Amino acid sequence: MSYISIKVEDLSKQYRLGVVGTGTLSHDLNRWWYKMRGKQDPYLKLTEVNAHSTKASGNYVWALKDINFEVEQGEVLGIIGSNGAGKSTLLKILSQVTAPTTGVFKARGRIASLLEVGTGFHHELTGKENIFLNGAILGMTKSEIRSKLDEIISFSGVERYIDTPVKRYSSGMKVRLAFAVAAHLEPEILIVDEVLAVGDAAFQKRAIGKMQEVSHNSGRTVLFVSHNMGAVSRLCSRGLVLKEGSHFFDGTADEAVQAYGQVNISSTEPDISQRKDRQGMGDFRFTSVRIENEAHQPVEEIRTGSRFFVHAKIKAESISPKKVYAAVCFRDALDNRLFTLSSSLFGKRVSLEGETILTFEVPRMPLSEGLYLCDLYIAEGRGDTLVQDYVRSAFKIKVYGNDYFNSGDPQPVGLDRFYVDFGLVKNHDKEIIGTKTKA
């Protein structure tokens, strides 16, 4: 019979911007005075939502605000959201690394946490000594740890270095050993942040398999944070989506992944000039993007099989013309790359000077119904020789189904069923690059 393993009620966490600590002495005295009179903390009312794209007007911000959920024993809960949504803060509270500002949570059983590389390790101790140290922290006896020792070392893949001080381990070795300890010492609740991304592909596969085994076979509860939507969909039975520190969606893992894709859906011409999470040298940058249908009308939705255009506006800081390679990449909600329109595939470069609009043309939308994320990329030289601007998830396109082959079947087909003619890049109506390629 299952029971409630974790219960979170009205959980909130407040931080003060710009400093370490709770504030000035006057703030602390003011808090104390309000508390003695049985009144609410006056600074809670002044706290702003944790919106990273806007400038703060006050000194306090809600990293989490009024979070409520329950997790049953044996359930695998995926916690997803954009950077800064409050995922790691929530896990730190549940791991008792930090205390909530308001609200409570209840956990039934021992909790093992893996929040960052080397969590709980003493770097002067060897790998083997750290296994015993972590086990003792979790409340295990020495004989219990010894019975699992060989299994932990084998799973971690660091047998050769197990008697070497952890300070000499690479980040990947640390996270492999830390996960092996946390997963094998039989905690009732396992909390894993996105540190698994540090490991190689083979270890990530083993780690996901181990978490499935821990939850399904042993009935333990797992909380898993990741930006890998494919891993969340495969591993988790349920998903919780956070947005700007608040509870945005709670449902099945697949529903949560779809809801995450709906967060901050782009307008018909999103302004990306102020995006901070971009990469590149920045001599020229994407400033906005617009999607048009075959009638050259701005749209947010495209029909399968229809013609459409992506107009990307670029501002060049240099006054001398630059020859560059440009691309737009289409991904699904699970972060799988579906197809890329790129001038570099044909050794063609486009010229940039001042403010330029590049047009990417797709004669027939090859994707089935769903929501897709699109990246914008521009570089000098071939490939990644000199990346000037790379904006991940610069815009989103919603596709609705249509009879692609006019066969009478309204259901769209898979990408492996047909060839697609791509007209790739048009610069000021002077140059068109096209090819015929299998999708």
Residue 61: strand pairing partners = 15, 48
Q: Does domain 284-438 match CATH 3.40.50.1390?
A: no
| DSSP label of 191 | E
In Å, how far from its chain's centre is CA 297? 32
Residues with Cβ < 8 Å from 347, sequence gap 6 or more? none
Q: What is the pLDDT of residue 325?
A: 84
Question: How far, in Å, CA of 411 to CA of 157, rounded?
Answer: 47
Question: How far, in Å, CA of 333 to CA of 230, rounded?
Answer: 8
Question: How far, in Å, CA of 83 to CA of 213, rounded?
Answer: 29
Query: Per DSSP, which regions of 304-349 are E strands?
Result: 308-316, 322-331, 337-342
Q: What is the pLDDT of residue 18?
A: 55
Sign for the pseudo-dihedral over CA of 200, 203, 207, 212:
positive
Q: What is the pLDDT along the chain (439 residues), one digit of tens a residue?
A: 678 999 999 999 988 765 445 556 666 677 677 777 777 666 565 554 555 445 445 577 888 999 999 999 999 999 998 878 899 899 999 988 888 988 999 999 888 888 776 667 888 999 999 999 988 887 788 998 999 999 999 988 899 999 999 999 988 888 888 888 888 877 889 898 876 666 677 777 788 888 888 888 888 899 998 877 777 888 888 999 998 889 889 999 888 887 876 665 544 566 788 888 888 888 888 999 999 988 888 887 788 888 999 999 988 876 566 778 889 999 987 788 898 888 776 666 777 777 888 888 888 888 888 889 899 998 886 544 688 899 988 988 888 766 666 655 444 433 333 333 344 455 544 443 333 333 3
Q: What is the pLDDT of residue 375?
A: 93
Structure-token pair, residue 437: 């390629």
In this structure, the strands spanning 386-400 and 111-114 are unpaired
What are the contacts of 348-351 at 24+ separation with CB within 8 A?
348/425, 348/431, 348/433, 349/323, 349/324, 349/325, 350/323, 350/324, 350/325, 350/326, 350/425, 350/427, 350/431, 351/321, 351/322, 351/323, 351/324, 351/427
Q: What is the pLDDT of residue 260?
A: 79
Q: What is the pLDDT of residue 263?
A: 64
Q: What is the pLDDT of residue 376?
A: 93
| Burial of residue 252, with CB atoms counted within 10 A of its CB: 0-12 exposed, 13-18 middle, 19 or more buried | middle
For the chain, what are the domain ranges?
A: 4-262, 284-438
Q: CATH homologous superfamily for 4-262?
A: P-loop containing nucleotide triphosphate hydrolases (3.40.50.300)
Give the number of other CB atoms < 10 A from CB of residue 200. Answer: 10
Q: What is the pLDDT of residue 380?
A: 81
Residue pair 357/312 in contact (Cβ under 8 Å)? The answer is yes
Residue with tokens 């299994």: 151
